[in-house]
Amino acid sequence: MDALSEVLRVVRLSSAIFFNARFTAPWCFSSPAAADVMQTLHPGAERLVVFHLLTEGQCHVQIEGSPPQVLNAGDVIIFPHGDAHLMASALGVAPAGPTDLQAILKRRPHLLKYGGGGEATRFVCGYLVCDPRLCRSILNALPPMLIVSLRSHGEKDWLEQSIHYAVTEAASPRPGGEGVLAKLSEVLFVETLRRHIAQLPAEQTGWLAGLRDRIVGKSLALMHERPAEPWTLESLARHAGTSRSVLAERFSHFVGQAPMTYLTHWRMALAANLLRHSAMGMHQIAAEVGYSADTAFSRAFRREFGVPPASWRRQQSGPSALPASPAPH
C-alpha cells in the first residue's frame, strides 16, 4: 500500500455535506474560519477541512493575503486549514449583511438560495473531520487554498456526476442518501489530492511531492504500513533499494527532516490516537508503535507532547472524543 492510502486508512475521515447552494448574481458571501463553526457542524472535532464543488456557473474566491482566483463549473476548491474566505459572482460586490450562520448550519437546508436574481452559480458545500496529528503530513504539505478541476474537455466525470446524483437523493425521502453523499465527499477529497499530486511541478518538494519519488515514496510507504517494525536507516534503505546516504539526502530534500525523525513523529501520532480513542494499555500501545519497553515509549511521547502518555490520556478523556481509528498493523 502507498503512504497516502495508509495515512488515509488510519485517519478514517468522516465527512458531511452542509448545504447545496444556488446563488444568483450579483452575490458575495463571506465564510468564516472553520474553527468558528466547527462545534456547530461537528461537535468534538479538532480539525475541519472545508470544500466546495462548483457544479454550475463561475465565481471568484479569495482568502486574505492572496490574489482572487476564478472557479469554473467542475472545479473543487478545498481549504485544508479552514481559512476564512470570500466567494462572489464578480470582484467588487459587497458581502452579504450579517446572517445567523450558526442557525443555518444547524438547520442543514437541502438548498440554500441567495442573490440578486441574475446568472446562477451552484455549489455543493461540505467538510471533512480529521485528526490534526494523523493528518499532519498531508495538511502541512497543502496550500491554504487548493483548486482542482474534475472536468476533462468540459465534460463531467464520474465523480461529479455521482455527487450530483447523491445530492438529489439526499433531498428525497428515500433513506441512505446523506450517507452516500458523505462517503462520496471523502472520495472527492482523496481524488482531489491525487490530481493535485499529479500536477505538481517536477521541482516541487514536500511530503506529497515525495510520494512520487521512487526512494522517498517507498520509504514512506514502509514506515506507514509497518510502523512497529524496528526500522533503522540501513534497513529502510535496503528495502527501498538504495544506500543510507542517498535515502537520507533525498528524504530530507523532499520531507524536510531525517527518516528516523519522521518515523518517530508518525509513531507518536498513532500512539496519541490510540490513547485517546481506545482502552488499550500502555504496554500494548507501546508495542503497536514500535517500542518494546514502556520507558522508552514514555520518553519519546513526552518529548513530543510535553507530558507522559498516561497524563495526556487523562487530559483528553471526555464526552467529545471522536470515533476510534484502527490500530496500525
Q: Sorting pLDDT into bands at 50, 70 and 90, what band is 17?
A: confident
What average pLDDT does this structure show over 218-239?
97
Q: Domain 209-316, what architecture?
A: Orthogonal Bundle (1.10)
Distance CA 159, CA 21 (A): 19
Query: Could you tell me the pTM of the whole model?
Result: 0.87
Q: Which CATH number applies to 3-198: 3.40.50.970, 2.60.120.280, 3.30.70.2190, 3.30.70.560?
A: 2.60.120.280
List the domain boundaries for the chain: 3-198, 209-316
State the chain's mean pLDDT as an integer: 89
CA distances from 203 to 212, 221, 254 (A): 12, 21, 10
% of residues, the chain, pLDDT over 90: 67
Q: Sorting pLDDT into bands at 50, 70 and 90, what band is 155?
A: low
Grid coordinates standing for 182? 458523505
